[in-house]
Structure 1
Amino acid sequence: MGDEPGLRERKKQRTRQALSDTAIELFLKRGFDQVSVADVAAAVEVSKPTLFRYFPTKEDLALDRIADHQGEAARVVSGRTAGQSPLGALRAHFHERLEAHDPVTGLNDNAIVRAFNDMLYTTPSLLARLVRYSHRDEELLAGALEETGGSGGLTARLAAAQIITVHQRLAEENWRKLASGRTVADALPEAHADADRAYDLLGAGLMEQYA
């Protein structure tokens, strides 16, 4: 009996993963707008109410693939090395992710990642839903910035909003580079330069508080 909660939890995780994986497969194969929630539920052999217990909207099914990155900027700030500024840590982390061709940077030419990004950046409802994820990232980052000893309140929230927006715009710009036919190897130096330019601008504006 003692193992039952753990078994139930593992079963829930398997169901959630099956729903997410199946949804992405169907979305990429047939198009986001051409696949219904009922289609996904039927493919996994669960009811629509069961699906909605895991994912409130169809957009959440698609964006589950990036859910692991929720709060990443806040974690970078909280886990920075002694003497490293918040912006310095975030800049270094973004460059590291570029070198790793992390999908979250937009600079990844894996066919499935490219197809996912194509879907994300060309589907208005997904971009609108992404705003909700961004707001949560901003809240978490603002909290982490306050803990650094810099200004809190509105100043921290404004700084967090700028940083998260910069990350999103850099990722979208990198996607555009690849969508235009360029390779990762060709676009990587420019992506690094773009990131430095963005962080220089952030530093100029936030220098007194978090740089």
Structure 2
Amino acid sequence: MELVFPDAQGLDDLRTFVSRARAADDDGAVRLQADGTTLAAYVGVLPGAGLMGEGAVLGLRVMPLATPATLDVTVALAAVGDRLARESGGRLEIPPMTVRAPWSAVAPPRGGWERVGAVSADDLVVAAREGIAEIAQGAPSEAGGHAVTALRRQVWGRSTTTIPPVRAGGAFAAYVLGFASSGSEVTVWAHGRWTRLSTPTGHVLMR
């Protein structure tokens, strides 16, 4: 199975998205959903807890395809990254080995979102950088894995001081995935237990 993009730029966009997602979690996965000539690529930036993935933070990039396709697979970021490193045209061969990512079991809603406001991308960047610094200072190299996980959950689970407030983990995802462009505005949407941060570059989904 392969995906055909309109041009090399489309493949470059996916390559950049995957590279940034690997910077957040090199052992992570990407869910590739193709329906006709639209590809939705989801990545898990912060893991959730429990069967319903409460607290999960996902990144979403939507890209056009040149050839219609029907696909829904979750594969390792590293495997996709390796293939993208070898590709120079507009085609991507899908890795044959799928992986299980808990966050991919609960799909975000496609429609029915309600706009609840907008925040400054610069404010999200500040919140993300402050959170990164707090985790770096509070999690010394000798700290155990459980302590680091608990600190990250605490930092990224709190709300930002923006109006409307959003979870700091969403600010981190927008920052690390390159969605928060300086001087731009990020719209905030809600749907039940989900919150979405949207920019022209991509979306952050929080449960």
The reply to whether TM is greater than 0.5 is no
Greater strand share, structure number: 2
Larger Rg computed on CA atoms: 1
Greater helix share, structure number: 1
